[in-house]
Amino acid sequence: MENNTPPEQQQNNTPPPQEEEEGQKGAMRSFLQRGETRLSTLQRIGGVFLNGAGLLVLLPVFTKDTFATIFKTILSISDNKISFLLLVVLIITLILPLYALYLLFEDIVHFYFTSHHPGFANARFFPRFILSGLALPPDDTISKKKEMVIEKQLTHAMMDFIISPNEKKGNQTVHEIPYTRDYNNYNKRTNYNKDESLVTQEMINAIPSDPNQKYDINKKVDLFHSNLGLAALIDRSLVDEVAKMETSIVRHILHLRRLILRYIKALLILIWTTLILGITASCISGDSITGIPKFSTLPPDEVVILISAAGFLLWAIVLPRVVRAPINWIYDQTDQNKEKVIREPELMHFEEITIMCTITSFFFTSLALVFELKNIFNLGIIDFLCLSSMTVVITILFAVVPIDQRIVLKGRWQRMIACKK
């Protein structure tokens, strides 16, 4: 349809450039408010896992008496070879849950802290909180408003508010200063123009003297802005703030996603390991099995070996299913993914470690049973080698036949092929 509106009227319908710019700024401010709400929600979710209530409750039970009881009992076995093999498996059952906790704590640290914030030089490392300081954008204010805010900050009351007591005592260290406040060009940034600094020497000279200070005012201003740098405060434009907000939300979601999965896996592994070791310790300690006729006639060492081996084999057989359970639950919601393979190294790493530990535990426990059968039936070298060969074959089948092991090992193989290419 032809537009019959006169050109003058069309021109009048076009908003003035100033109003259009204010409208764009208003949209960006609205987005930043929504982004702050989303970040606050993600931080609250992360705080729930920081408490780690379930893990902290189970950890004392897991480490109190169970491990010591099984360790002492296995150590008392007369056959050193069997004792060594079972002790290796016992140590694996202890180290694997602790390693899961270690990775969980590592994810928590990565969720809350970072070594680098956008806008700062890469030359220096400072552990900074993931939520950065908030500065008034220079292009979002009326004329001279930003300069007025900085002048209010450059007072002794404001500077003493964030300068630490150690720095006040003279143990001061000037860290990285935001280039937007770096009137002395301290960071020696590439292509840095001193005229870009929002702090001028005239502002410094206007600060009244403080007789209680042990160092000059320039040093104090540097320390003040150094603390702003540690808080990752930098004066960004509205567009830069929007860009940082988008990437910050993505970073929070990615780290929180990995943190929650790691938490669930660590909790499931800890529960399963605690259950198996608790039952095993209760069976091999004291006179708990004297009421069973078939066991009451066996020597104590044989009873300890059989019960320990049964517990370790059950732990190794079920553990791959336990560690894969969260991923399987997610994949079961849809049939679009035919292969339940995680192609992310951060999430695959722990599953690969778990599968390798279970395969090792399965082999060592089976080999301990072979040595025990050799002692019971006085087997010759040929029979012993046959049983050992069968143990190797069964271990290989255990590694490749169950779907959980096969999926993880297949994903590992595909990743190795991709890295070579």
pLDDT of 337 over the 90 cut: no
DSSP state of 79: -
Position 223 scores a pLDDT of: 87
pLDDT per residue as tens digits for the range 188-244: 554 555 567 888 888 888 888 776 666 678 888 888 988 898 888 988 889 999 999
Q: Whole-angstrom Cα distance, residue 159 to residue 222?
A: 10
pLDDT of 1 over the 50 cut: no
pLDDT of 339 over the 90 cut: no
Q: 129 by DSSP, 3-state: which? A: strand
pTM of the predicted model as reported, rounded to 2 decimal places: 0.83
pLDDT of 85 over the 90 cut: yes
Residue whose C-alpha is closest to residue 276's, from 361, 349, 397: 361
Boundaries of every domain in the chain = 53-87+261-420, 136-235
Tokens linked to 68:
């010591």
CB 374 within 8 A of CB 391: no
Neighbours of 239 (CB within 10 A): 13
Q: DSSP letters of 385-401?
A: HHHHHHHHHHHHHHHHS
CB 267 within 8 A of CB 261: no
pLDDT per residue as tens digits for the range 363-390: 999 999 999 999 888 888 999 999 999 9
Residue whose C-alpha is closest to residue 159's, from 119, 96, 122, 213: 213
Q: Whole-angstrom Cα distance, residue 299 to residue 87?
A: 20
Tokens linked to 229:
């740098």
Comparison of pLDDT for 318 and 290, the residue scoring more: 318
Phi, psi of 386 (to 5 degrees): -65, -45
pLDDT of 182 over the 60 cut: yes
Q: Whole-angstrom Cα distance, residue 303 to residue 197?
A: 78
